[in-house]
Structure formats: structure tokens, C-alpha cells
């Protein structure tokens, strides 16, 4: 005997209320984004009392403030399915864009044995990992979102995650926490010159049918 699907009554046809205009995959993925945002903000809060460098403290506080506002905007449009009460913003970092290239000998890394070993290097790394994790979750959620407003808000948030991660990595690089190796000039030019621009064909006008 053929059995009818038990969830046939859940099939939606036509328009749905904005607050219900979300697919199942979107619900689960945005749930992960919001939970991850709370965890990142909580992590920043827990680390803030251990920061020694005023510059790192300034980065942490500015990023935490921005993330909190962004969390509220995402939550609002997720609940309402409509445009949030305030527009999305772009995060602006204070760091310059100059990386120091090269690798110098340093002490091998190893796990801490106690909280007393917590340093600005550890704190900045925790911040960077949290921001990178958020970017991954937001990318997945944006690709799965059926609600156009939620999709846009998540997509607009990605450049901010990238900017924050870049700011932290620049701070780490300046203080020797993050070393960046570089290829030789010859190898770089070889790789750059191994590609050529694509030829763009002119678009042919469509044929008219009578």
C-alpha cells in the first residue's frame, strides 16, 4: 500500500508572511551564524580583561562593538523577514596595509599549561580564529538563504569579517606573532606570467522570430 508523505500539509503555495519566508536549510545555517556570533562576542568579552597592549585592546573593543551591532541587525531581519531598522555598515580598520615579509627563528609553539601563560599573542590568535570561523558560517548561510533580505545582510557581513581578520593579522605581523614567507622575485613573476587575459567575444544579437 502506498503511503502518502506525512508532511504534505507543510507544503506552502503562493506567498507566505515575511517572518516565515525562510527555508529549512536557511533556518539551521542562520541559527549557526547567530550562535557563532554570540560565542565570538563572549570570547572577546572574556579575553578583554587579559589584554596588555592598548593597541590590541582598541582593536578588540572596536570589533566587539561592531559585531554586536551586526548581530542585532542579522537577528532582526531573521525574525521579521524584512529590512532591518538600520542599514548594514562597513567595518573600517585603523591598521596600515604593510606586511613585513620573511621568517625568523622563533620558539616552537605549544599549548598553555595554565591561564597565567595567556599573552597578547594568544589573545589575538583567538580573535582571528573566531572571526575566520564566522566568515565560513556566514558564507554557507548566505548560499542557503531563500529570504532575500537575510541573504543580503549575510553577504554584506562577509567583507567585514575579512577586514577584521586582516586587521588582526596585520597587528600580529607587526609584533612578530605572524610571519609571512615570500617567494623569490623570479618565482613570483613566473607564476604571474603563467596566465594571460581571456579574449572576450562580442555578444551576438539574438535572432528575431516572426
Architecture of domain 18-97+119-175: Up-down Bundle (1.20)
Going by the DSSP 8-state scheme, the letter that residue 208 receives in this structure is P
Residue burial 37-51, b: 16+ Cβ < 10 Å; e: rest: beebbebbeebeeeb
How would you write the pLDDT of the chain (210 residues) with one tens digit per residue? 444 444 444 455 457 787 788 889 898 999 999 999 999 999 999 999 999 999 999 999 999 999 999 999 999 999 998 999 999 999 999 878 889 999 988 888 889 899 888 999 999 999 999 999 999 999 999 999 999 999 999 999 999 999 999 999 999 999 999 999 999 999 999 999 999 999 999 988 766 655
Domain ranges in the chain are 18-97+119-175
Cell numbers found for residue 159: 567583507
Label residue 18 left, alpha or beta by phi (over 0 means left) and psi (-120 to 50 means alpha): alpha
pTM equals 0.85
Whether 26 and 150 have beta carbons less than 8 Å apart is answered as yes
Amino acid at each position: 500500500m502506498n503511503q502518502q508523505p506525512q508532511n504534505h500539509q507543510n507544503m506552502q503555495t503562493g506567498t507566505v508572511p515575511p517572518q516565515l519566508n525562510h527555508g529549512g536549510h536557511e533556518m539551521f545555517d542562520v541559527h549557526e551564524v547567530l550562535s557563532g556570533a554570540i560565542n565570538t562576542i563572549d570570547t572577546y568579552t572574556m579575553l578583554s580583561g587579559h589584554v596588555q597592549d592598548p593597541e590590541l585592546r582598541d582593536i578588540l573593543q572596536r570589533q566587539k562593538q561592531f559585531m554586536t551591532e551586526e548581530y542585532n541587525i542579522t537577528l532582526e531581519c531573521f525574525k521579521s523577514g524584512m529590512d532591518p531598522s538600520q542599514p548594514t555598515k562597513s567595518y573600517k580598520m585603523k591598521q596600515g596595509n604593510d606586511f613585513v615579509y620573511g621568517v625568523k627563528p622563533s620558539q616552537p609553539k605549544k599549548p598553555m599549561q595554565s591561564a597565567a601563560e595567556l599573552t597578547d599573542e594568544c589573545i589575538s590568535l583567538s580573535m582571528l580564529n573566531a572571526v575566520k570561523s564566522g566568515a565560513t558560517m556566514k558564507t554557507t548561510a548566505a548560499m542557503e538563504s531563500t529570504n532575500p533580505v537575510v541573504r543580503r545582510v549575510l553577504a554584506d557581513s562577509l567583507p567585514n569579517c575579512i577586514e577584521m581578520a586582516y586587521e588582526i593579522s596585520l597587528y600580529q605581523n607587526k609584533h612578530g606573532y605572524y610571519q609571512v614567507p615570500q617567494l623569490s622575485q623570479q618565482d613570483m613573476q613566473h607564476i604571474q606570467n603563467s596566465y594571460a587575459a581571456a579574449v572576450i567575444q562580442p555578444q551576438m544579437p539574438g535572432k528575431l522570430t516572426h
